[in-house]
């Protein structure tokens, strides 16, 4: 099965603007890859192609996941990171992207700290651009793997309540998930310290739950976001201790969750802050499934966009 990459979306810059059928097709293709890989005969539609990983921010999961996905499908992977590159000599984003593009990859997978970075380079390169996280904007592959994982666990997302909790303001995972889950028919709630809920977030297609604990009890899935300590130059809450007490998911609170409800986390986890270890290790947790499914999703993305 092929997902038609149209001229309207030659790049994967975000979930916003994609349509339902395109997402369904990507998720179905990821399922095929997952089954083929499990059967020991992975499909290799990218043989002879090059995928360039351009990571301006540190990342473990996403970068290795894209790398394994590309290699499993037969592609060569060019791994480019800021340390030891010309960025330390002052080379800018556009120059870097154009030079990497000139090497001839089928796609550039970019992770960058600035919102809009993927869209910016997409105007300067010939190859496809796949956004692997841009600032606080979008992280589409994460939202797709979350949706894939939720569909495996919950069957369908239609009519399901998904709570996204924590630092919504700085979270690209939250934005991509709000768009993606909405498209798939889920009803999305966000919750967190009011200092970390961006203004008019409802306009993205979610509701704001002022009572986090109550929202946990109603949800079919709770997605705990990482407290981004590196973004806390002007602290949005008094202490990790207080955060954990009011917006953390611990064992006691998890007991109030509905039967069959699951807990997601995009990782890496700040243990004991937003999530306690007993929840992460429990049956509700999908954390390692998310990581595993991430490879299948990225195979589907690369097969669709890396040509």
Partner 1 sequence: MVKPLVIRGGRLIDPHNRVNAIRDLILRDGRVAEVSEKAPAIEGARVVDATGRWVLPGLIDLHVHLREPGEEGKETILTGSRAAVAGGFTAVVAMPNTRPVNDNRLVTRYILGRAKEAGLCDVFPAGAISKGLKGEEMAEIGELAAAGCRCITDDGMPVMNAGLLRRVFLYARAFNLPVMLHEEDLNLSVHGAITEGVRATRLGLMPIPGSAEVSMVARDLAIAEETKARVHLAHLSCEGSVRFLREAKRRGVNVTAEATPHHFTLTDAAVEGYDTHAKMNPPLRQMEDLKAIRDALADGTIDAIATDHAPHGVLDKDVEFDKASNGIVGLETALPLALEMVQQGVLSRERVVELLTIGPAKAFGLPGGHLGAGAPANVTVVDPEAKWTVNARSFFSKGRNTPFQGRSVTGKVTHTIVGGRVVFEEGRVAENLE
Residues of this chain that bind partner 1 (CB under 8 A): 16, 92-94, 112, 114-117, 119-120, 134-138, 172, 175, 198-201, 203-204, 233-234
Tokens linked to 45: 């539609």
For residue 6 the two structure tokens come to: 């149209």
Nearest Cα to Cα of residue 42 among 23, 64, 68: 68
Task: Using the minimum distance from each CB to partner 1, give the nearer residue, 203 or 255.
Answer: 203
Q: Which is nearer to partner 1, 200 or 259 (CB)?
A: 200
Q: Which two tokens stand for residue 81?
A: 């990171």
Please state the closest distance from residue 115 (CB atom) to partner 1, in A.
4
Instruction: Give whichever of 68 and 87 is closer to partner 1, judged by the CB atom.
Output: 87
Closest CA to 77 of 108, 121, 40, 98: 108
Indicate the residue among 91 and 278 with the shorter CB distance to partner 1.
91
- Quick one: 46 or 120, whose CB is closer to partner 1? 120
Q: Nearest distance from residue 135's CB to partner 1, in Å?
A: 5
Closest CB to partner 1 among 136 and 275?
136
- Closest contact distance (angstroms) between CB of 172 and partner 1 is 6
Structure tokens at 32: 């095929």
The token pair that represents 50 in the structure block: 């090059």
Assign 55 to helix, strand or coil.
strand
Q: Which is nearer to partner 1, 49 or 112 (CB)?
A: 112
C-alpha closest to that of 287 among 273, 266, 270: 266
Tell me the closest approach of the beta carbon of residue 200 to partner 1, in angstroms. 4
Q: What is the DSSP string of 206-235?
A: -EE-S-HHHHHHH-SEEEEPPP-GGG-SS-
| Smallest gap from residue 176 Cβ to partner 1 (A) | 10
**302 close to 107: Cβ distance less than 8 angstroms:** yes
Cross-strand bridge partners of residue 271: 275
Q: How far is the CB of 74 from partner 1 (least distance, A)?
A: 33
Q: At what angle do helices 61-72 and 287-305 cross, to 10 degrees?
A: 50
The minimum distance between CB 127 and partner 1, in angstroms, equals: 19
């Amino acid at each position: 099965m092929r997902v038609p990459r149209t001229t309207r979306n030659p790049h994967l810059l975000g979930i916003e603007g994609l349509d339902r059928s395109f997402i369904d097709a990507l998720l179905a293709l990821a399922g095929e890859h997952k089954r083929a890989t499990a059967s020991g005969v992975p499909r290799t539609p990218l043989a002879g192609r090059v995928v360039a990983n351009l990571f301006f921010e540190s990342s473990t999961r996403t970068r290795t996941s894209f790398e394994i996905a590309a290699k499993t499908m037969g592609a060569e992977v060019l791994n480019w990171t800021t340390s030891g590159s010309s960025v330390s000599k002052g080379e800018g984003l556009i120059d870097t992207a154009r030079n990497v593009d000139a090497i001839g990859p089928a796609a550039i997978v970019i992770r960058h700290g600035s919102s809009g970075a993927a869209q910016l380079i997409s105007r300067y390169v010939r190859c496809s651009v796949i956004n692997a996280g841009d600032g606080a904007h979008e992280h589409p592959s994460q939202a797709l793997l979350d949706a894939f994982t939720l569909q495996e666990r919950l069957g369908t997302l239609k009519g399901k309540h998904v709570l996204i909790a924590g630092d919504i303001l700085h979270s690209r995972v939250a934005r991509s998930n709000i768009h993606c889950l909405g498209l798939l028919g889920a009803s999305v709630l966000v919750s967190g310290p009011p200092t970390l809920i961006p203004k008019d977030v409802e306009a993205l297609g979610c509701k704001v739950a002022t009572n986090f604990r109550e929202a946990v009890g109603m949800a079919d899935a709770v997605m705990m976001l990482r407290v981004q300590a590196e973004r806390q130059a002007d602290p949005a809450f008094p202490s990790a201790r207080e955060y954990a007490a009011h917006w953390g998911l611990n064992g006691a609170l998890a007991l109030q969750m509905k039967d069959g409800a699951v807990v997601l986390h995009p990782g890496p986890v700040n243990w004991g802050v937003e999530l306690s270890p007993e929840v992460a290790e429990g049956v509700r947790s999908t954390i390692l499934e998310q990581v595993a499914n991430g490879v299948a999703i990225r195979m589907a993305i690369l097969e669709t966009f890396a040509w």
